[in-house]
Amino acid sequence: MWLVLCDSSDASALWACQSLRLSGLQPVELCTSDSLALSDHWDHRIRDGRATICFRLPGGRMIEGDKLRGVLNRLYAVPIPHWRSASRSDQEYVQQELFAFHLSWLHGLSCPVINRPTPQGLCGRWRHESEWVWLAGKAGLPVATYRQSAHDRIAGAKGERRLVAPGMTVKTVIVVGDRAAGAPAPPPIMEACTRLARLAETDLLGIDLVDGAAGPWTFAGASPAPDLALGGTMLIRAIVCRFAAERAIA
C-alpha cells in the first residue's frame, strides 16, 4: 500500500494522490490529518533498535507501517478537535505531545517517505529565509543580498516576504531526488536547484525564483511543501521513480 498523508484542504496533495493512482500505483490510501486525529488505536513501539507503528483509521481500516511501500507526506500538524474546550495551556501541551509522537512514528517508517519528518516540520524542514539564502548560495543559485534588522516589520502572516517584492512573478522549480520539474529554468539553474535540495536534505523541495537583483532566476525562497500541481505529470513520474529508487537502495 502507498499512503498520502495531508490536510483535508490540501488541494495540491489531493491532486497528487489522484495522479499517483492514475500513474499505476495501487492501492494508494488517502489519510487526512482529521482522520489521524480521530484514530481510536495507535500503537507505536521502539524495541531493539527498531520502530513500529500500527493505527486504525475511522471506519476500521488498519494501517501497519511494515506493509507500507511508500508515503507521500504533506502533514503540517494534527488537529485536536476533542481538546477544543480545554484550557489554552492544555491545548499547547497536547499539540506538542502529538507533534513529538507523529515525528517519531513517521521517522521510524522503513519505507520511502517523501518528505521524511524533521523536528522543524512534519513534512520536511522549514527554514528561515536567511538560512535558505545561505544554502542557495552554497548550491550555486544566484542570490541577492539578504538583509534583516530588529527594526524590520515583516508580516509573514499576511504573506509578506523579504525575498519577494509585491507584484513580482514567482516561478517555482520542484525537485524530487535528482529530478526537477515545474518552471522551465535553464539547465545550470535546474542543477543548482537539485544541489540545494541535496544540501537541505529534503527529497521534495519547491524552489521559488524571481527576475530579481541577481538575474532572471534569482533565488526567492524554498518550501518542503510546494504546490505539487505546478510540477504536473513530470513531478508525479519523479515521485514514483524516487519511491522505486529508495526501495531499491533499501
Partner 1 sequence: MVIEAAQRLGTRCILFNQRAFAAASMAFELSADHLSGWIEIEGMGYPLDAIHGVYTRLMDYRLLPELKNEPDNAELHDYCAALHDVLTHWCEVSPARVVNRVSPMATNSSKPYQAQLIQPYGFSVPETLITNDPDTVMEFRSRHGRIVYKSASGIRSIVQMFEDKDVERLPAIRSCPTQFQAYVEGEDVRVHVVNEEVFATRIASAAIDYRYARQQGMEPAQLTATDLPADLAEKCVRLTRGLGLAFAGIDLRIPCDGPVFCFEVNPCPGFSYFEANTGQPIALAVARYLTGQT
Interaction between residue 91 and partner 1 (CB under 8 A): no
Interaction between residue 82 and partner 1 (CB under 8 A): yes
Closest to partner 1 by CB, 121 vs 231, is 121
List the grid coordinates of 150. 530588529
Closest to partner 1 by CB, 8 vs 130, is 130
Closest to partner 1 by CB, 49 vs 184, is 49
Of these, 1, 57, 77, 94, which contacts partner 1 (CB under 8 A)? 94
For 233, the 3-state DSSP assignment is helix
Cβ atoms of residues 154 and 162 within 8 Å: yes
Binders of partner 1 among 95-114, rule CB under 8 A? 96-101, 103-105, 107-108
Residues 6 or more apart from 1 whose CB is under 8 A from it? 27, 28, 29, 63, 67, 68, 69
Of these, 12, 23, 35, 39, which contacts partner 1 (CB under 8 A)? 39
Cβ atoms of residues 129 and 146 within 8 Å: yes
Of these, 46, 62, 234, 245, which contacts partner 1 (CB under 8 A)? 46
Place of cell 537539485: 194
Site size toward partner 1 (CB under 8 A) is: 47
Q: 165-168 contacts: CB < 8 A, separation 24 or more? A: 168/210, 168/211, 168/212, 168/220
Closest to partner 1 by CB, 138 vs 247, is 138
Cα–Cα distance measured from residue 106 to residue 158, given in angstroms and rounded to the nearest whole number: 31
List the grid coordinates of 164. 519577494
Question: Mask: binding to partner 1, 113-132, rule CB under 8 A, as x and -?
Answer: -----xxx-------x-xx-
Rg of the Cα atoms in the chain: 19
Q: What is the DSSP string of 17-33?
A: HHHHHHTT---EEEEEH
Q: Taking contact as CB under 8 A, which single stretch among the options 61-69, 149-157, 185-193, 203-211 is the one that binds partner 1?
A: 149-157
Interaction between residue 45 and partner 1 (CB under 8 A): yes
CB of 162 to partner 1, least distance (A): 11
CA angle 169, 185, 131 (to 5 degrees): 70
Interaction between residue 199 and partner 1 (CB under 8 A): no
Of these, 24, 26, 60, 152, which contacts partner 1 (CB under 8 A)? 152
Q: Point out which residues pair with 62 in neighbouring strands.
A: 56
Of these, 9, 22, 41, 233, which contacts partner 1 (CB under 8 A)? 41
Interaction between residue 62 and partner 1 (CB under 8 A): no
Cα–Cα distance measured from residue 114 to residue 224, given in angstroms and rounded to the nearest whole number: 9
Place of cell 543559485: 141
Sites of contact with partner 1 (CB under 8 A): 39-47, 49, 51, 82-83, 93-94, 96-101, 103-105, 107-108, 118-120, 128, 130-131, 133-134, 137-138, 143-153
